Amino acid sequence: MLEELIGTKLTVRAGRGLALTAQGRATAEMVHDAFQRLREASIRLSAHQDPGLIRLGAPGAFAARWLSARINRFEADHPEYRVQLITDPTPESLHRFQLDIEIRFMPAPPQGVQTLELLSESLTPAVAPQLLHPDAERVNWRAAVEALPLVHHERTGGEPVGPSWAQWLEHRGVRRQDTLSGDRYNRHDHVLEAACQGRGLALARRSLAEPDIKAGRLVFLIGAGVTPLGWGYHLLWPEGRALHNAARRLKDFLMDEARPFETPGL
At 205 the pLDDT is 92
At 125 the pLDDT is 94
At 158 the pLDDT is 64
- Residues 33 and 27: beta-carbon distance below 8 Å: no
Residue 251 has pLDDT above 80, yes or no: yes
At 134 the pLDDT is 72
Residue 266 has pLDDT above 50, yes or no: no
Q: Which CATH architecture has domain 121-229?
A: 3-Layer(aba) Sandwich (3.40)
Within 8 A by CB and 6+ apart from 263, the residues are: 122, 206, 226
Reported as a pLDDT band with limits 50, 70 and 90, residue 6 is low
User: 122 vs 201, which has greater pLDDT?
Assistant: 201
At 90 the pLDDT is 84
Domain ranges of the chain: 13-46, 50-120+230-261, 121-229
* pTM, full prediction: 0.75
When mean pLDDT is compared across 9-13, 91-95, 112-116, 150-154, the lowest value belongs to: 9-13
Top mean-pLDDT range of 16-20, 80-84, 136-140, 168-172: 80-84
Q: Is the dihedral of CA 239, 245, 250, 252 positive or negative?
A: positive
What are the C-alpha distances in Å from 243 to residues 74, 227, 258?
17, 34, 20
What average pLDDT does range 72-78 have in this prediction? 98
At 265 the pLDDT is 46
User: 224 vs 75, which has greater pLDDT?
Assistant: 75
Fold matches, 50-120+230-261 and 121-229? yes
Rounded CA-CA distance 38/33 in Å is 9
Q: Which CATH architecture has domain 50-120+230-261?
A: 3-Layer(aba) Sandwich (3.40)
What average pLDDT does range 26-34 have in this prediction? 63
Average pLDDT, the chain: 84
What are the C-alpha distances in Å from 149 to residues 42, 102, 146, 198, 212?
54, 37, 9, 9, 19
Radius of gyration of the chain from Cα atoms?
A: 25
Q: Is the dihedral of CA 28, 31, 37, 41 positive or negative?
A: negative
